[in-house]
Amino acid sequence: MITIKNLTFGYSKQKMLFNDLDLGLQEGHIYGLLGKNGTGKTTLLKIITGLCFPQGGEVSTMDYPAPLRQAGMLENLFFLTEEIFIPHLKIKDYVKANAPFYKHFNHEQFNEYLSLFDMDNQNDYLTKMSLGQKKKVMICFALACNTPVLIMDEPTNGLDIPSKSTFRKILAMAADEGKTIVISTHQVRDLHSLIDAVIILEQGKILLNADIDTIARQLLFKVNEDNNIDEADILYKEESLKGDVVVAINKEHQESKVDIELLFNAVMNHPQKINEIFHA
């Protein structure tokens, strides 16, 4: 669905952000794009969506070269940015003006999503809403577009506690085998049971791009109660009341639940070993 080859990009020549970066994303997954602040997550999303131009290499989204911004790509793609542009319009007028760009936009879904967020009055002006409310409208719009590629940058920022749960519910409704959903987030706990593939970006490189099943096969996440895990196999550990919580090489092929925060720390700790494990 999305292919990046030998991407080079930097906002200044002295400081390149990406150097020879490769990445491939397939449909049927909800990708979590993770990385520390300033590693270029948003820039990478802008390049995929044709908002920033690569200085070298190739980027194609649904077989369209992204920098050309062809209509065929744009009508099949929705990018929900972190900072949203809000025109002075009522919800219903915003939809009237923007929905025609997306051929699979579904009004029933949009209304249903809005009412799940308790926002039923489409005569309200977007500009008179709180940040969280604006964000909810944009999330509903983004999901109702039913584009094969959906990209969201920090979608849960600004949402209150019940709204985060609603967001997960509607995302679970909207996800299907035909869609490629990419979510950049620092709030991993908000989305950990929905993300089924993880991309970790660090210093201009992709340190990990793997689905959760593969991760669960290769790595073991558990409380090391009896201290029976070989120290050499431990990639990361953290103290807890029950004992050390560890991420280790899964030699015994045990099934455990992937904890994305622990995974992130393990990858930061041992990028080399992770690379060997996943590319062996």
Partner 1 sequence: MNFSEEKPIYLQIADWLCEQILLGRIKPEERVLSLRELASKLEVNPATVLRAYDMLQEMNIITCKRGMGYFATNEAMERITGLRRQRFIDEELPKLFHTMKLLHIDIGTLVGLYQNNSSEL
Determine the distance from the C-alpha atom of residue 252 to the mean position of all C-alpha atoms in its chain, rounded to a whole number: 31
Residues engaged in binding partner 1 (CB under 8 A): 28, 30, 165, 168-170, 172-173, 175-176, 193-196, 216, 221-223, 255-258
* 205-211/234-240 β-pairing: unpaired
Q: For residue 110, give both structure tokens.
A: 């949009």
Residue 75 Cβ, how far from partner 1 at the closest point, in Å?
A: 25
Residue 175 Cβ, how far from partner 1 at the closest point, in Å?
A: 6
Residue 182 Cβ, how far from partner 1 at the closest point, in Å?
A: 14
Determine the distance from the C-alpha atom of residue 86 to the mean position of all C-alpha atoms in its chain, rounded to a whole number: 22
DSSP strands (E only) in 149-242: 149-153, 180-184, 197-202, 205-211, 219-223, 234-240
Q: For residue 251, give both structure tokens.
A: 């030699």
Residue 256 Cβ, how far from partner 1 at the closest point, in Å?
A: 5
Q: For residue 58, give both structure tokens.
A: 């190739």
Residue 181 Cβ, how far from partner 1 at the closest point, in Å?
A: 10
Answer whether 182's CB lies under 8 Å from 31's CB. yes
CB closer to partner 1 out of 179 and 205: 179
Coil vs helix vs strand at 32: strand
Distance CA 147, CA 181 (A): 9
Angle at the Cα of 260 from the Cα atoms of 280 and 150, rounded to 5 degrees: 95
CB closer to partner 1 out of 131 and 172: 172
CB closer to partner 1 out of 113 and 264: 113
Q: For residue 178, give both structure tokens.
A: 């035909």
Residue 65 Cβ, how far from partner 1 at the closest point, in Å?
A: 30
CB closer to partner 1 out of 28 and 56: 28
